[in-house]
Amino acid sequence: MVNSIDTDGVKQGFDLEMLEAVCNVVNVPVIASGGAGCISDFTKLFKTLPKVDAGLAASIFHFGEVKISDLKNTSVNDEVRLLFRPILHTCHNNNCQYSLVVWYNLNSILWLQYY
């Protein structure tokens, strides 16, 4: 997971330049984190950087700015369906919040489960 401190919480899109640099030097799945503010940020991420395996977001779902159902109905292209997996983020007094990982490259899920 690659988190950009420059874009985290800003909700103006993922740090595409940094993510591209990371994708060019590693041979492991890359999960982009920090910057998602709307549905188009995910589609732009996956269209611009097909080497990115997933995008992660939290606050846009916590505060209802993006509905998960709307994002699920979005496709990057005709051949790609997005897969969603929640990750427990915080729990306080039985009030749990989750981050949501939006997978683009489904082969990476198998890789991560293997290791």
The rounded distance, in Å, linking the Cα atoms of 29 and 36 is 19
pLDDT, tens only, 50-99: 888 888 888 888 788 888 778 777 765 545 556 655 555 555 566 665 56
Q: Give residue 78's domain range.
A: 2-114
Total number of domains constituting the chain:
1
Cβ(11)–Cβ(36) under 8 Å?
A: yes
Residue 65's domain is classified under what CATH number?
A: 3.20.20.70
Q: Which two tokens stand for residue 47?
A: 């269209």
Quote the pTM value. 0.75
